[in-house]
Each structure stands twice: as structure tokens, then as C-alpha cells.
Structure 1
Amino acid sequence: MGSLKKRRKAKINKHKRRKKRRANRHKKRTWQK
């Protein structure tokens, strides 16, 4: 059961990281304009 909890936490972190990357991409685009 402990390993399952860890896996769920990793999944959440992955999602957060992806969100950040997407935001940075948009920032770059506006900066170039």
C-alpha cells in the first residue's frame, strides 16, 4: 500500500511539471511579439 501512495504522488508532480512547462511556452511566445 505504501508504494501505491508514492506512485500517486509522483503522478501529481508530473502533472504539475507539465502545467509549468506549458505556461513557460506561452510566455516565450508573447515575449517574442
Structure 2
Amino acid sequence: MPTALKVAAVVGSLLFTIDQGGALVQRKMTGDRWI
């Protein structure tokens, strides 16, 4: 179980970075983007 949580955290972070990385770097993350 702990291994699955670690993998999920890494994969989730990677997908978030791919999807929202540009907006995050440009400081354009709004409340709507988080949802």
C-alpha cells in the first residue's frame, strides 16, 4: 500500500506539471484552474 501511494503521488505530480506547468510558472493559476 505505501508503494502505491508513492507511485500515485509521483504520477499525479507529473500529470499536473504537464497539464498546468505553464500556467504555474507564469503565475496564472486561478481558482478555476485548480478545480
TM-score tier by shorter-chain length is 0.5 to 0.7
Q: TM-score, normalised by structure 2?
A: 0.51
Percentage of matched positions with identical amino acids: 5
Q: TM-score, normalised by structure 1?
A: 0.54
Structure with higher helix content: 1
For structure 2, the 5+ residue unaligned runs are 22-35
RMSD, aligned CA: 1.0
The structure, 1 or 2, with the larger RCO (C-alpha pairs under 8 Å, 6+ apart) is 2
Greater Rg by CA: 1
